[in-house]
């Protein structure tokens, strides 16, 4: 800024680029936080009368989605845990 308080065109461009960079950094941080980390995902089998009726995909205490145990993905998940046991 000059002595009399006016802003030159180059100073305006610099402040605009700084604001754009700050906005991009904020958006990148938010995208990173919203991404599901595979290490934090767990699966919970829901049983009724001895049969698995659903598989819950969880991230911490948050329910991500429900998987049908009869689907291909559900069968793969169940197969992984049956062989581990």
Extract the runs of DSSP E, i.e. beta strands, from the chain. Answer: 41-48, 51-59, 62-67
Rounded Cα distance, 58 and 54, in Å: 13
Q: How far apart are CA 67 and CA 57, in angstroms?
A: 7
> In this model, does residue 15 exceed pLDDT 90?
no
Domain segments of the chain as ranges = 1-35, 38-84
User: pLDDT of 55-83, one tens digit each?
Assistant: 999 999 999 999 999 999 999 999 998 87
| pTM over the 0.85 mark | no
Whole-angstrom Cα distance, residue 23 to residue 29? 10
- Fill in the DSSP letter of residue 37: P
**Radius of gyration, CA atoms only, the chain:** 25
């Amino acid at each position: 800024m000059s002595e009399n308080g006016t802003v030159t065109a180059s100073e305006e461009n610099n402040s605009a680029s700084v604001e754009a960079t700050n906005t991009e950094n904020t958006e990148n941080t938010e995208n990173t936080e919203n991404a599901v980390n595979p290490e934090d995902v767990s699966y919970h089998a829901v049983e009724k009368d001895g049969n698995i009726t659903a598989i819950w995909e969880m991230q911490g205490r948050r329910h991500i989605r429900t998987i049908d145990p009869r689907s291909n993905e559900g069968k793969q998940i169940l197969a992984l845990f049956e062989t581990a046991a």
